[in-house]
Structure 1
Amino acid sequence: MITIDGSEGEGGGQMVRNSCALSLVTGEPFRISNIRAKRSKPGLMRQHVTAVEAACVISGSECSGLTVGASELEFRPGRVTPGEYRCAVGTAGSTGLVLQTVLMPLILAEGPSRLILEGGTHNMLAPPFDFIERTFLPVINRMGPSVSARIVRHGFYPRGGGRIEIDITPALLAPIDCIERGEQLGVSGQAVFTGLPFEIPERMLARARRDLSDWPDSAFAVRELPADQGPGVILMLEAQYANVTEVVSGFGQLGVPAERLAKTSAARMKGYIEASAFAGPYLADQLVLPFVLAGGGSLTTVKPSQHTLTAIDIAKRFTGRRIELTRQDSGEHLLTVG
């Protein structure tokens, strides 16, 4: 049994999610202690419990210690069974993070599957649906499977209530190389909001226009959703290239001025555009798992996050594969799996 100290590395819920996914694929049971020890509220949150429950449902796995607030659990994997599954986080917990836990095992299953996930679709500290749909899944589909996603209803923190649907046609994952992003095809900025004064998203876009002054005015837009899907607001900046699309997001928070949020998001987008790497930090983090399960591949990325380094460490423990991360003369980093 693989033993993991959840306080090591990044020390967040990603260690639980990736461990479950890798356990289901490799058949290796694991025990993890000190779960989320570095967080202000340590232990499992509702979205982490739902993610592990989803892993159990699709496979008949056994898990002990699975309760909200738990700091330790033991997971013994079963056999993944394709089918239609519905999982409700029950709060605004991220549907995207639940998807991360079960997607790779279902991609490698023996038949197609459909997931209906209910909860938060646009949350702080989690990839928004738009990132999953336009940045992450296109790379996965290049590796062989066919995965489509659609949003039925938005769910903002803290209310939640969103719904996404995922259709999966499985295939063995083929190694690919993601080195060059290709020519830039377009840029856009959108402030999506609901249940808040219109001037809040307008202020976000005004600051984004100022900081991204070389973007055309026509690239920016405001979208209002029905009031029962909020309240909430998110700024999403998108840069589309021939081989990859980067989505940078900033979530509205109580006490944080709209202009500050937009300034931070614009700075992150400018940093990505000025670099030459294929993957931003969040995409690189999420591609570690499929690349390792493909048994090979490479990508270039900006400076790797602690999330990425932790994902690499967990993947090595379950698979024993060689994963190297080297800094290039150009300043980008090259991640290779072999």
Structure 2
Amino acid sequence: MLQLDGRDGGGQLVRTALSLSAVTGQAICIENVRGGRPNPGLKPQHVAAIETVGRATEATVSGVERGSERFSFAPEGVRGGAFAVEVGTAGSVALVCDAVAPLAVALDRPLTVTLHGGTDVQWSPPVDYLREVKLPLLRAVGLDAELAVHQRGFYPVGGGSLTLTIRPSSLTALRLRRRGPVERLSVYALASDSLESASVAERLAETVRERIEDGSEGEMVTETTEIETTAEIETTATYAETDCPGAVVTLVADCGTSRAGFDALGRRGVPAEDVAEEVVDAFRAWRATGAPVDEHLGDQLLVWLALAGGEVRLPHSTAHVETNAELIRAFEYDLQVDDSEQGVVASAPSPEE
């Protein structure tokens, strides 16, 4: 059994360890789960991820409960099938999907998982990020996956649901060393129907579009970052019936061979225009790095690099990246993160090499 220390990692460490344990068949025991956090131990979405991957692998588990700082996980083998998991309250269903999707490389038949919980909650990628940024990029390298969103759910009540289906997949290497010009920008704004009278979704979407089109952030267009004013900007503003009020806006930058996403949640007392500006500011910061993917996607792609090989230029190195890379190497994957004048590049040999 592989002994792992979760003191320096967060939920990403738990999800990556689960995915690689399932794919490799290596049993794991994680101690000091989220030990460096103010509220250490497993949270509802971590428990749900362990349950979901556990059911998909007929794993033997122990110590899996909310607040637990130690658990073990011993998979039998990746199985297909269909089942549902309750994440609880507003635990992130998107983060559970992150743990499940890599199992596609070891499946022999489809796996369908329906998750109930929060689709758009703090400290987690909103479901539009998963649907419009991460999954399209992974499909381009061979992941066979479909996502159906049934209902949106905001913090603190949740009440959202989605279904993820993955099929046996053979991956090609990721080649994301350079970023091409932004070909299209898409803005997805969604708010609870109780906020429609205040036009919250429209205000979110239009503020993002206007900030980009009028160049009010200053250096929006430069030759070095290859952002063009002619990039098409599409906006979508919608409303949904939800169990509690909320709003979310996601900006997707399509660079042809790569994608990046930037998002923000509405908050009580904060004007929609201010929320939208947070998204554009994050887009501007990413643009200045020259990296083909955003910071969060770069971290999440490390496990896929281990499985498929290739190279990805990251916006910058972070503690998350270093901790995640060290964990992946514990499973004997040759993942390297190099910081040079050309930027931070994560790389791994493909399985055929």
Q: Same fold (TM over 0.5)?
A: yes
> Is 2:337 the partner of 1:337?
no
1:324 corresponds to 2:324: no
Over 3 Å counting, the alpha-carbon distance change for 1:97 and 1:39 in structure 2 is same
Look up the SS of the partner of 1:225 in the other structure. Answer: strand
Give the CA RMSD over aligned residues.
2.4
List aligned pairs for 1:161-240, cutoff 5 A.
161-194=159-192, 195-196=194-195, 198=198, 200-201=200-201, 204-205=204-205, 208-209=208-209, 211-212=211-212, 213-214=214-215, 219=233, 221=235, 223-240=237-254
User: Alpha carbons of 1:175 and 1:219: their partners in 2 closer, same or farther (altered >3 Å)?
Assistant: closer
**One-letter amino acid matched to 1:302:** P
Q: Describe the shift of the 1:232–1:324 C-alpha distance in structure 2 as closer, same or farther (beyond 3 A).
A: same
Cα distance between partner residues in 2 of 1:308 and 1:41 = 21
User: Unaligned stretches of 5+ in structure 2?
Assistant: 216-228
Q: Which amino acid aligns with 1:249?
A: D
TM-score (normalised: structure 2)? 0.86
Q: Which moved more, 1:136-145 or 1:275-284?
A: 136-145
Q: Deviations over 1:187-225 (max 9, x none)?
A: 233431113362555554565456433379x94746242
**Corresponding letter in the other structure for 1:143:** V
Separation in 1 of the partners of 2:209 and 2:22? 45
Q: Structure 1 CA distance, aligned partners of 2:12 and 2:49?
A: 11
Among residues 253, 257, 260, which one is paired with 1:243 in the alignment? 257
Confirm or deny that 1:313 pairs with 2:311: no
Greater alpha carbon shift after TM alignment, 296-305 vs 222-231: 222-231
> Quick check: 1:91–1:158 contact (8 Å CA) kept in 2?
yes
Shift of 1:244: 2.1
Give the match for residue 12 of structure 2: 14
Q: 2:132·2:252 contact (CA, 8 Å) conserved in 1?
A: no
Encode CA deviations 1:89-109: one digit per residue, 9 max, x unaligned: 122111111111122123421
Task: State the shift of 1:263 in Å.
Answer: 2.9
Q: Is residue 2:273 matched to residue 1:262?
A: no
Cα contact 1:107–1:168 (8 A) shared by 2: no
CA gap of 1:225–1:204, structure 2 versus 1, over 3 A, is closer
AA of the residue aligned to 1:123:
V
Q: Distance in 2 between matches of 1:276 and 1:134?
A: 21
CA distance in 2, matches of 1:181, 1:223: 28
Counterpart amino acid of residue 243 in structure 1: T
Equivalent residue, structure 1, for 2:63? 65
Q: In the superposition, relative to structure 1, how do residues 308 and 257 fare at CA in structure 2: closer, same or farther (>3 Å)?
A: farther
C-alpha contact (below 8 Å) 2:104/2:169 kept by paired residues: no
User: Distance between the aligned counterparts of 1:91 and 1:253, measured in 2?
Assistant: 18
Counterparts of 1:144-163 in structure 2 under 5 Å? 144-163=142-161
Deviation, structure 1 residue 176? 2.8
Q: Deviations over 1:51-70 (max 9, x none)?
A: 10111111110111111111
| 2: CA distance, partners of 1:225 / 1:262 | 17
Aligned amino acid, residue 327 of structure 1: D
Q: Are the equivalent residues in 1 in contact too, given 2:152–2:242 (CA < 8 A)? A: no
CA distance in 1, matches of 2:245, 2:202: 16
Aligned to 2:187, what secondary structure does the other structure show?
Answer: strand
Query: Relative to structure 1, is the Cα distance of residues 165 and 227 closer, same or farther in structure 2, using a 3 angstrom cutoff?
Result: closer
Q: 1:316: Cα distance to partner?
A: 0.6
1:186–1:71 distance in 2 versus 1, CA, 3 Å: same
Tell me the amino acid that sits aligned with residue 334 of structure 1: V
Shift of 1:250: 0.5
Whether 1:290 and 2:301 are equivalent positions in the alignment is no
Q: What is the TM-score normalised by the length of structure 1?
A: 0.90
CA–CA distance in 2 between the matches of 1:12 and 1:312? 13
Q: Is the 8 A contact 2:90 2:154 kept in 1?
A: yes
Q: What is the percent sequence identity of the aligned residues?
A: 28
Partners of 1:202 and 1:133 lie apart in 2 by: 21
What is the total number of aligned residue pairs between the two structures? 333
Match for 1:299 among 304, 312, 324?
312
CA offsets, 1:128-150, max 9 Å, x none?
A: 11111221112222222311212
Query: Displacement of 1:260 after TM fit?
Result: 4.1
SS in 2 for 1:124: coil
Contact 1:91 1:159 in 2 (8 A): yes
**Larger displacement relative to structure 2 (102-111 or 248-257):** 248-257
Check 1:145–1:190 CA distance in 2 against 1; reply closer, same or farther (3 A cut). closer
Shift of 1:317: 0.5
Separation of aligned partners in 1, 2:237 and 2:201: 9
Counterpart-to-counterpart distance in 2, 1:237 and 1:86: 30
Question: Which deviations, in whole Å up to 9, do the C-alpha atoms of 1:150-189 show, x marking residues without a partner?
Answer: 2121111222111212222212323231223323222233
Deviations 1:30-62 (A, max 9, x none): 111121223232211111111101111111101
